[in-house]
Amino acid sequence: MSTPSGPASIRRSGPTSRPRSWSDPRLRRASSPDSDFLQLDFTRPEGYAAIREWRQGAGRPMVVYLSVAAKIYGDICRHLEAGGCLDDESRVVVEKPIGYDLASSTEINDAIGAVFPESRIYRIDHYLGKETVQNLIALRFANPLFGTQWNQNHISHVEITVAEQVGIEGRWGYFDDAGQLRDMVQNHLLQLVCLIAMDPPANLDADAIRDEKVKVLKALKPFTDDMLGRDVVRGQYTAGTIDGRSVPGYLEEEGANTESHTESFVAMKTGVANWRWAGVPFYLRTGKRMPEKLSQIVIHFRQQPHYIFDPDQRGLAANKLVIRLQPEEGIALEVLTKDSGLDKGMRLRRGPLHLEFNSAFPKTRIPDAYERLLLEVMKGQQYLFVRRDEVEHAWQWCDNLIAAWEERDEPPRRYPAGSWGPVASIAMITQDGRSW
């Protein structure tokens, strides 16, 4: 893979490699029995002729995977087109974040769109390639049990946590411009919200699914100024300990600007303003340097309308569906049963009905998200990729929040690495009588 300032590398695999003439001495190449490697400076239009030459007679569509900064996507696409490298089947794969806000994402999408039609643009959000994320579709739309319960009549609130132990992994330059909202919420968490909240698509076609996701993004509640202090918490980690290991604070990371107000943690209470979800809070939180790596969605069902068991057990009386994305992908439905034993009377006990994928289906390998996504690109299937209007509606919603933050200009709240974020993020949910 290349870096924004480095050379582009194009690799072709398969034992069918054949000798080619490389007319430009500035190009570097290498071959092995199962791959070709061509290195060129992607800012120089003249180098692209070598790709055309290299592709001649390949007999299969070209997939261009751009692992570079998004602002360069357009230039590369233009050079590929001008260099005669593309045909009607060529596809381009790009990574999030597409831009920094709505305006920049529009510019980038326009530039890619001037060369590739939407049907051949594959915008990766690698969360969509995760097994359990796709399972949300199966769980919701293949099981009548959930299908009939999936609305504000039966669900009291939804909780999504995407926690990471890692810090910014030497990516200060990128991360400090982005922050956790742009890096994680604008894409991964909003995609999860979409899959939980969307209406059933008419079928599994890419556009049928994406049309429904867009409706959710359009219905996301915008933040007003009075909600900021109450319903959104921004945090930044300080030095701390994770798994017994000391780790530096955000401002002590390599290359850090010690004045930075960039958030490495966000928690928020939001919602989807439509008939299905009216009045159901969606609590989202995501952060770096948390005590463990954990991505999970918890659907909290409402209490029974009339309660007949011991009053002191009232707090137990609600079902929870826990969808674990990582680690240990699985689904658990927490149900109440009678506590066993002669002395227990009708005391209740909570226990999970558990489906842990690794143990339930031991012979099935769970593929890596990228493995699946790249395969889908080759097959020409777009349902796991993000359409342009999804990206833009997601930015629109985030831009509104970022503008309000900028107006307030408050520093993020500190939290020690190895904790679950600022205390205020816990207060945010407990003020509603709930907990993470």
Residues in the site for ligand BG6, rule: CB under 6 A? Answer: 126, 164, 166, 183, 295
Nearest-approach distance from CB 153 to ligand BG6, in angstroms: 32
- In the bound state with ligand BG6, the residue whose beta carbon lies nearer, of 183 and 253, is 183
Nearest-approach distance from CB 203 to ligand BG6, in angstroms: 28
Nearest-approach distance from CB 365 to ligand BG6, in angstroms: 17
* Pair of tokens at residue 429: 């949910």
Q: Looking at residue 16, what DSSP letter applies?
A: T
C-alpha dihedral (425, 264, 248, 327), degrees to nearest 10: 80
- In the bound state with ligand BG6, the residue whose beta carbon lies nearer, of 164 and 329, is 164
Q: What is the largest CA-CA distance in the chain?
A: 87
Q: What positions carry a catalytic annotation?
A: 188
The CB-nearest residue to ligand BG6 is 183
Contacts of 188 (CB under 8 A, 6+ apart): 125, 126, 127, 162, 286
Q: Compute the distance between CA of residue 270 and CA of residue 292 in angstroms, rounded to an integer.
A: 24
**What are the strands of the beta sheet with 121-124, ordered from one edge?**
63-66, 91-95, 121-124
Nearest-approach distance from CB 165 to ligand BG6, in angstroms: 10
Nearest-approach distance from CB 164 to ligand BG6, in angstroms: 5
Please give the angle made by the CA atoms of 146, 391 and 158, to the nearest 5 degrees: 30
Chain centroid to CA 4: how far?
22
Q: Compute the distance between CA of residue 189 and CA of residue 263 in angstroms, rounded to an integer.
A: 16
Q: Compute the distance between CA of residue 9 and CA of residue 144 in angstroms, rounded to an integer.
A: 48
- Around Cβ 105, how many Cβ atoms within 10 Å? 23
